[in-house]
Structure 1
Amino acid sequence: MKKIIFSMACLALILGSCQKNANDITPEQQEIAVDMSDFYVYTSDDNTVKSGHVHGPKCGSMTVLNRQLKENPGLENRLYAIEKHTRQLIAAKSSSSTNKGKPVKPGDTPDPTPYQGSITIPVIINILEDANHPVTQANIDSQIDILNDDYNDLNPATGAVPSEFNNAIANVDITFVLAGINRKVSTKTSWGTNDAMKLSSQGGIDATDPSFYLNFWICEIGGGILGYAQFPGGALATDGVVIGSDYFGRNTLGGQYGYGRTATHEVGHWLNLRHIWGDGNCRQDDFVTDTPGSDQANYGCPSYPTVNCRSNDMTMNYMDYVDDQCMYMFTNGQNDRIRAIFAAGGERESFVIQ
């Protein structure tokens, strides 16, 4: 009988302990469930074939990401974790908005959401100087101005956004501040996309503290590439954005791409935005709810509406491939993705906790 009573007491103690542990879990420890079934990393290296564009790709970011994934087997898991964290914060924001006004229970702590408030990003410009493709102070100053216009909804062309997309226009509220310029004479006419320009050991310029500065490298890339960026999660030594010399800031040598929007587009990748068409078919998304589905890039200055995947393309979005003067908006959904990486635990949190 004593054995039975003792056994029952032990069982009660175990059950009580389990219950106590379950009750001790804080909201921060309870993981928000999100669907990751659509997540992808690898894409086609050539996103221009379907569009029929004959001048080659504008942006090398996805090609560079494919290379980095092959070179670093752990990168895919890191990108998955960043994406999951991003979706959890956005889901928490949506839940918080839905439950606004409802009473909060004592001891409840709200789930973290995308970073709120203004963001300032100091910028380092690293220039591999080519006498035939000069980068002047005027180019640099104009590029900083353009980035600030575009990321603060001050692009005057935004007034042309079709009414269908008006409610989606975002003020990303990021200010870019020039923090330093490094120049190095180079006779190299084509640096390619293997990140050599970012390493002094390969003739380039080493990054300046990428945890606290956005590094730009300005050089001749070659291969029809206007620029490329490294997504959050890659190696710190190569973190930043590369822009072709003729496409940095206002520059007549850049033609239709000489109005500084290559940097706006590539910084978008650095801030974790994908191409608006998702670099795939109609079912492959850019992970943003308020951008229409599409299966190809747009070029030139497309007329509205341009229809793909049975919806009107948001051709004026900075993450498409249209001419510089024909891109003039980010969306609220893109803004949420950007702000998630600055939140607690986000890949670029260091920029807001200096």
Structure 2
Amino acid sequence: MKKLFFPLLVLGLFLASCQKESNDLKVQQTNDIAVDMSDFYVYTSETVEESTGVKAGHVHGPACKCGSMKVLNQKLKENPGLEKRMYAIEKHTRQLIAAKSANTNKGKPVKPDPDPDPVPYQGNITIPVIVNILEDPAHPITQAHIDSQIDILNEDFNDLNPNTGGVPTEFNDDIADCNITFVLAGVNRKASTKSSWGTNDAMKYASQGGIDATDPTSFLNFWVCEIGGGILGYAQFPGGALETDGVVIGSDFFGENSRGGDYGYGRTATHEVGHWLNLRHIWGDGRCRQDDFVTDTPSSDRANYGCPSYPTVHCRTNDMTMNFMDYVNDNCMYMFTNGQNDRMRALFAAGGAREGFVQ
């Protein structure tokens, strides 16, 4: 009996380890659908960021409008398993989108498949929102700011932005109604004397003076505080640690806020929620050949700032400067594309990283 016990114990530990690895990924692949992953990347180059104006000193914008990619680079260094999880999420996303494409033939439905492959989630998605405010008397956040931010998110993710009529004809067929509704579920406030929280996620921990997240499997958590360093906001991509999952927005850029200037119309949150829903920057954070993984967004090699005229040409194509995932002024961004919508919706499908929101 003793001779059998040790081998059985080893086998049990091995199976438990495999199960833990499977649970860590929390993504079910549709293994029968082959997709090309050769272009997948997670890290972005500091050299590219400097040359495209993301770093401090750019003449057209704030020091660094969005800190999401910088934060992702740091998280990848700290957590060796994060890249593997993001790879699995990306593969799952591409398989769902490929299945959707295979289910149509030049826009016409094909004969129904009795056992079809999963596709990006269909139907309305409702996302409950928790707003965690680290209150600074010099940068107050009122209920009006909060309510306006929820309204703006609902405009932008339901093709109700009043500026969408200005989309150039070339992009008109690409405009997406994402059919995602945001509902305020709670507000937490805590007094803070910090003038700069930085991007190390301290605002997300009560033990560090911040506010702990409210069940990120079922709620989108916002943290509103003074970030510092010229950063308007940053988000955590799907696949990161649960306790830090959510979006951070600078106090002056949350909702309709006169202190935010050109960035005081609530679009920082729209942009950062896009990252939270697995969208990359419109220019792919690299040169012309580095993509944002979306087929209906043009190739570009840099961010745009201000309110660019059309056409603005980079990489021999017209930039989609009005896309929410660029860096232009709030009132000059007003669309997501159908391809971006598919990426976001893949997260809510069976086995998706944010499936818990629709279960």
TM-score (norm 2): 0.88
Structure 2's unaligned 5+ residue stretches are 1-28
Q: Is the 8 A contact 1:290 1:333 kept in 2?
A: yes
> Do residues 342 (structure 1) and 343 (structure 2) align?
no
Q: 1:185 — aligned with what? A: 191
Residue of 279, 285, 290 corresponding to 1:279? 285
> Do residues 261 (structure 1) and 262 (structure 2) align?
no
Residue of 314, 317, 325 corresponding to 1:319? 325
SS at match of 2:155: helix
Q: CA deviation at 1:56?
A: 1.7
> Do residues 61 (structure 1) and 68 (structure 2) align?
yes
SS at match of 1:58: strand
Identity across matched positions, percent: 77
Q: 2:212 — aligned with what? A: 206
In 1: Cα distance, 2:328 partner to 2:47 partner:
16
In 1: Cα distance, 2:30 partner to 2:157 partner:
34
> Do residues 232 (structure 1) and 233 (structure 2) align?
no
Q: Is the 8 A contact 1:193 1:221 kept in 2?
A: yes
Q: CA deviation at 1:98?
A: 2.2
Q: 1:307 — aligned with what? A: 313
Q: 1:70 — aligned with what? A: 77
Letter in structure 2 aligned against 1:92: A
> Do residues 88 (structure 1) and 95 (structure 2) align?
yes
Q: Is the 8 A contact 1:48 1:57 kept in 2?
A: no
In 1: Cα distance, 2:31 partner to 2:256 partner:
49
Trace 1:118-129 onto structure 2 (pairs within 5 A): 118-129=124-135
In 1: Cα distance, 2:30 partner to 2:280 partner:
29
- Greater Cα shift, 29-38 or 58-67: 29-38
SS at match of 1:300: coil
Letter in structure 2 aligned against 1:293: S
Letter in structure 2 aligned against 1:213: F
In 1: Cα distance, 2:48 partner to 2:189 partner:
33
In 1: Cα distance, 2:156 partner to 2:47 partner:
27
Q: 1:36 — aligned with what? A: 37
Q: 1:288 — aligned with what? A: 294
Letter in structure 2 aligned against 1:85: H
Q: CA deviation at 1:57?
A: 1.4
TM-score (norm 1): 0.89
Query: C-alpha deviations, 1:170-189, integer Å up to 9, x for none?
Result: 00000000000000000000
Q: 1:9 — aligned with what? A: none
Q: Is the 8 A contact 1:48 1:56 kept in 2?
A: no
Query: C-alpha deviations, 1:266-310, integer Å up to 9, x for none?
Result: 000000000000000000000000000000000000000000000
Q: Which has the larger radius of gyration?
A: 1
Q: 2:9 — aligned with what? A: none
Structure 1's unaligned 5+ residue stretches are 1-27
Q: CA deviation at 1:48?
A: 5.0
Q: Is the 8 A contact 1:45 1:62 kept in 2?
A: no
SS at match of 1:227: strand
Q: Is the 8 A contact 2:49 2:285 kept in 1?
A: no
Q: Is the 8 A contact 2:103 2:109 kept in 1?
A: no
Q: CA deviation at 1:103?
A: 4.0
Q: Is the 8 A contact 2:237 2:276 kept in 1?
A: yes
Q: CA deviation at 1:97?
A: 1.1
In 2: Cα distance, 1:62 partner to 1:191 partner:
17
Q: Is the 8 A contact 1:48 1:297 kept in 2?
A: no
In 1: Cα distance, 2:47 partner to 2:238 partner:
22
Q: CA deviation at 1:104?
A: 5.0
- Greater Cα shift, 37-46 or 49-58: 49-58
